[in-house]
Structure 1
Amino acid sequence: MKPSEKPNRPFFSSGPCSKRPGWSLSALEDALVGRSHRAKLAKARIQEVIDRSKKILGIPEDYVCGIVPASDTGAVEMALWSLLGARGVDMLAWESFGSGWVTDVIKQLKLENARTLTADYGQIPDLSQVDFANDVVFTWNGTTSGAKVPNGDWIPADREGLTICDATSAVFAMDMPWDKLDVVTWSWQKVMGGEAAHGMIVLSPRAVERLESYVPAWPLPKIFRMTKGGKLISGIFEGATINTVSMLAVEDAVDGLKWAEEIGGLPALIQRSDANLAAIEEWVEKSDWIGFLAEDKAIRSNTSICLCITDEWFTSLPADQQAAAAKKIVSLLEKEEVGYDFGSYRDAPTGFRIWGGATVDTADIKALLPWLDWAYAEVKAGN
């Protein structure tokens, strides 16, 4: 039967993600619009994003944290172009974005001493094969595959190279072992439900040392430069951003961070994401038509929760018909105003990707799932 209960907030996109519970435009009333981002008050507000982020995440005091252009993509590119080339590099990829970083390093930077370790969607590479005499580039959580690294135990404390981690769909939802990570990047639009366009980059003392002692063989665009005269540009990490930021977006980021503090900080954020995954796991366990893309629970994401259709009727269809059927399900629920933007990523296997980050209420996840059962039955019956 067609369900009657609908999610209060039917927003399940994996980016930009759902705003925090209770959010409205009134949260931005104090935004410093019309002010220079270099003004004292505006700079202080930008610094507030950095300070609150560091405190909530437990970033070590001797690490630096800054706001950079072009979302998480810009932050990762900044790290790759500024830091790589000093030694060999191991590139780990098991989904779309990790594969994109491989392309940048192999085809754009053209590093010859690069080694690639890959895995299919829903899996991760053999982490025991990583050579930490090299720099290592990896995503903590595969946003388009729903597979993450299980922890940081595979990273040695006495590594020779740097670890460069794209953690955009992991920070604020998973524990990050900062002592094992030299570069960490993310964007405001993921777990905290902020606005797009701005990224964050965290550098360990080892990463700063590399920046100050190594000059890449290629020219660096202005928006990638983190040093001047062989020294770190400290202002980037003290509220003086490389380029102009949106003060509306800054205000929104501060609002989200204050909400996180009010509900209990990082433990509460992680608990909310874990509860969302648990609700879907309980549903999948009882289902006869759907499963997880990441079958191994140890590497299953609690944010970008990726599902595949396992029913024999569906799997016997040609690939184009499978894709069409899955899109019909998404369209049905969008028409019913039950769920938006939860189709699988364009490069990923056909299925669904339900965002389970901390800004999503578990009650809304639970309300969505019976509708998925209904929509699948409707599409199957219509074929």
Structure 2
Amino acid sequence: MARLMAGKPNVKPARPWFSSGPTAKRPGWSSQAIPHQLLGRGIRAPEVVERFAEALRLTRELLQPPADWRLVYVPGSDTGAMEAAMWSMLGERPVQVLAFENFGQVWAADLRDHLRLDPEILTAPWGRFPDVSRVDPAKDLVLPWNGTTSGVKAPRGDWISADREGLVICDATSAAFAMPLPWDRLDVVTFSFQKALGGEAGLGVAALSPRAVQRLDGYTPPRAIPKVLRLRNGEGFDATLSSGSMINTFSVWTIEDWIDGVEWGLSIGGLPALIGRTDANAAMLDAWVGRTAWIDYLAEDPAIRSTTSVCLKFVDPRVSAMEEPARQALVRRMKALVEAEDAAFDIESHRNAPAGLRIWCGCTVDAADIEALTPWLDWAFETALAD
């Protein structure tokens, strides 16, 4: 077991940002790399519209969805993209939702309390994945692919029927650009700029399959839909959105910063390289977990363990004997210790998750910084217990 060190570690992460959103900027990022020429221009100016369209083209090139899928911007980050999909598409047939972490629970509550759709909610305890044998291909399905707050990911995609009747709406914000996605088993894939590529917050993207577009064209929801969530016009899917047109006024700085991140991803080898960096970071953290007795994964099954938002739990007997408020206090003390040293920021678990640590291992983090982080976690743990 790691015990109190004689002193603080000697090496700090060069970039001590391990938040699960917004995540770390790409290596080498500088505000000076962001073009300024269009700041202050009208959002409908041809040059501005073209930059938004270019960002969608580059996003498609990096993410590699099927060629016949449409990509659209939605305000409100991934939350806005998910809400737009649910409000605009659901209600034609019964709906199920996988609620195995905080955001799955949020989508379930929205479906039940606001859309009044009486969803079938498939749950699982923190750190586990639901029993997907109950998924009905005749029903629509809503799920997070990777549980940012639980450190649990879908193990694969073959449990989703290839010839399903319902749509699959997938919140992939902490999986896109970091994990392979089974595009043939999904119909809507949403993500935000602020996750895997460290973009600025506020904008989301919804990738729509032909089946999703067909639903928008052929189904009129029996509800009023706020303007910022509308994917339909009077005739069906609003196709202008897939050309880079905006539902409302978006930030030009945000889109230029996104382009910077996507171009970096393409420059280092595209999607395989981003997944490779993510896997290398997760492997570096895994080596530390394997040799450290006081910590373990919240997701005990490696097949469902996230490689981006890695969630860890305390297994030291001294902490196990504590009540949950005391464990939360321990996390806050550890966080304060490492942040005071500029050694790590934002390592605490989500506010609704069990007390523990959450380390972002996505592609914009360097493996060397994960390696430098772990002695600081050992030091902070023993120091916080001794306080």
TM class by shorter chain equals over 0.9
Partner of 2:74: 68
Which of residues 48, 51, 54 in structure 1 aligns to 2:57? 51
1:137-216 pair list within 5 angstroms: 137-216=142-221
Partner of 1:263: 268
Partner of 2:98: 92
Superimposed CA distance per residue, residues 3-43 of structure 1 (whole angstroms, 9 cap, x where no aligned partner): 10000000001111100000011011345101112111111
Superimposed CA distance per residue, residues 342-363 of structure 1 (whole angstroms, 9 cap, x where no aligned partner): 1000000000100111000010
Name the CA distance, whole Å, in 1 between partners of 2:212 and 2:34.
Answer: 35
Q: Which runs of structure 1 show a deviation greater than 4 angstroms over 4 or more consecutive aligned residues?
A: none
Name the CA distance, whole Å, in 2 between partners of 1:326 and 1:229.
Answer: 51
Task: Describe the SS at the equivalent of 2:142.
Answer: strand
Task: Describe the SS at the equivalent of 1:68.
Answer: strand
Partner of 1:246: 251
Task: Describe the SS at the equivalent of 2:173.
Answer: coil
Contact 1:33/1:248 (8 A) holds in 2 = yes
Is 2:24 aligned against 1:18?
A: yes
Superimposed CA distance per residue, residues 169-215 of structure 1 (whole angstroms, 9 cap, x where no aligned partner): 00000011111110010000000000000000011111111111111
Q: Which amino acid aligns with 1:54?
A: R
Contact 2:338/2:376 (8 A) holds in 1 = yes
C-alpha displacement of 1:227: 1.7
Is 2:336 aligned against 1:331?
A: yes
Superimposed CA distance per residue, residues 266-285 of structure 1 (whole angstroms, 9 cap, x where no aligned partner): 00000111011101111111
Partner of 1:102: 108
Contact 1:173/1:269 (8 A) holds in 2 = yes
Name the CA distance, whole Å, in 1 between partners of 2:239 and 2:323.
Answer: 55
Contact 1:292/1:306 (8 A) holds in 2 = yes
Determine what percentage of the aligned residue pairs are the same residue. 51
Is 2:33 aligned against 1:27?
A: yes
Q: Which amino acid aligns with 1:164?
A: I
Name the CA distance, whole Å, in 1 between partners of 2:305 and 2:250.
Answer: 34
Q: Which amino acid aligns with 2:147?
A: G
Q: Which amino acid aligns with 1:65?
A: L
Contact 2:88/2:232 (8 A) holds in 1 = no
C-alpha displacement of 1:59: 1.1
Task: Describe the SS at the equivalent of 1:344.
Answer: coil
Contact 1:165/1:184 (8 A) holds in 2 = yes
Name the CA distance, whole Å, in 2 between partners of 1:339 and 1:328.
Answer: 13
Contact 1:7/1:367 (8 A) holds in 2 = yes
Contact 1:138/1:164 (8 A) holds in 2 = yes
Task: Describe the SS at the equivalent of 1:301.
Answer: coil
Name the CA distance, whole Å, in 1 between partners of 2:127 and 2:236.
Answer: 41
Name the CA distance, whole Å, in 1 between partners of 2:79 and 2:137.
Answer: 24
Name the CA distance, whole Å, in 2 between partners of 1:197 and 1:46.
Answer: 14
Name the CA distance, whole Å, in 1 between partners of 2:341 and 2:18.
Answer: 14
C-alpha displacement of 1:231: 2.7
Name the CA distance, whole Å, in 2 between partners of 1:27 and 1:118.
Answer: 44
Name the CA distance, whole Å, in 2 between partners of 1:192 and 1:59.
Answer: 17
Q: Which amino acid aligns with 1:39?
A: A
Q: Which amino acid aligns with 2:324?
A: A
Q: Which amino acid aligns with 2:108?
A: V
Which of residues 353, 363, 367 in structure 2 aligns to 1:348? 353
Contact 1:31/1:247 (8 A) holds in 2 = no
Is 2:60 aligned against 1:38?
A: no
Name the CA distance, whole Å, in 2 between partners of 1:79 and 1:247.
Answer: 24
Aligned length: 381
Task: Describe the SS at the equivalent of 2:339.
Answer: helix
Partner of 1:223: 228
Name the CA distance, whole Å, in 1 between partners of 2:311 and 2:37.
Answer: 36
C-alpha displacement of 1:381: 2.2
Q: Which amino acid aligns with 2:274?
A: L
1:268-283 pair list within 5 angstroms: 268-283=273-288
Superimposed CA distance per residue, residues 44-66 of structure 1 (whole angstroms, 9 cap, x where no aligned partner): 11011111111111111111001
CA root-mean-square deviation:
0.9
Contact 1:87/1:161 (8 A) holds in 2 = yes
Q: TM-score normalized by structure 2?
A: 0.97
Superimposed CA distance per residue, residues 239-284 of structure 1 (whole angstroms, 9 cap, x where no aligned partner): 1110111000010000000000111000000011101110111111
Q: Which amino acid aligns with 2:267?
A: E
Q: Which amino acid aligns with 1:121?
A: W
C-alpha displacement of 1:124: 0.8
Deviates more, 1:155-164 or 1:223-232: 223-232
